[in-house]
Amino acid sequence: MRKLKILRTCGNKVILKRLDYKSEILKQIMGLTVSELKNINFFENYSDNHLRFFSEISSVKEFKVKEILFEQYDQLSDLYLLLEGTLSLGISLAKEKRIHLSSIQPGQLFSWSAVFEPQISTAWVMATGPAKVLAIDSKKLRKKFLNDCEFGFLTISKIARTISNRLSDTRFHLMNRLTI
Partner 1 sequence: MTNIYKVLRATVEEVIDESPIIKTFVLIPESPFKFNTGEFIELSLNGFGEAPFTPSSSPLITDKLEITIMKTGYVTEKFHQLKSGEVLGIRGPFGRGYPVEKFFGKEVLILGGGCGLAPIRSLLFALEDVKDKLQRIILCYGSKSPSDCIYKPLFSRLNRIDKFETYRTVDKPEPGWKESVGVVTTLLDKVRMKIENTVAVVCGPPVMMKFGTIRLLEMGYKDDQIYLSMEKNMSCGVGKCGHCMMGEFFVCKDGPVFTYEEVKNTPDLWK
Whether the CB-CB separation of 99 and 90 falls below 8 Å is answered with: yes
Q: Does 47 bind partner 1 (CB under 8 A)?
A: no
Among 19, 101, 156, 163, binds partner 1 (CB under 8 A): 101
Instruction: Output the smallest distance, CB 108 to partner 1, in A.
Output: 5
Is position 41 an interface residue for partner 1 (rule: CB under 8 A)? yes
Helix, coil or strand: residue 39: coil
**What separation in angstroms does the CA of 107 have from each of 132, 134, 171?**
11, 10, 22
- Residue 108 touching partner 1 (CB under 8 A): yes
DSSP 122-178: SSEEEESS-EEEEEEEHHHHHHHHHH-HHHHHHHHHHHHHHHHHHHHHHHHHHHHHH
Listed in sequence order, the residues at least 6 apart from 75 whose beta carbon sits closer than 8 Å to its beta carbon are 119, 120, 121
Determine which residue in the list 105, 118, 146, 150 makes contact with partner 1, applying CB under 8 A: 105
Q: Does 86 bind partner 1 (CB under 8 A)?
A: yes
Among 13, 20, 66, 172, binds partner 1 (CB under 8 A): 172
Nearer to partner 1, 92 or 102 (CB): 102
173 binds partner 1 per the rule CB under 8 A = yes
Please select the residue that binds partner 1; options are 25, 27, 64, 107, rule is CB under 8 A: 107
Shortest distance (Å) from residue 169 CB to partner 1: 5
Q: How far apart are CA 61 and CA 41, in angstroms?
A: 19
Task: Return residues touching partner 1 (CB under 8 A).
Answer: 41, 86, 88, 100-103, 105-108, 128, 165, 168-169, 171-173, 175-176, 179-180
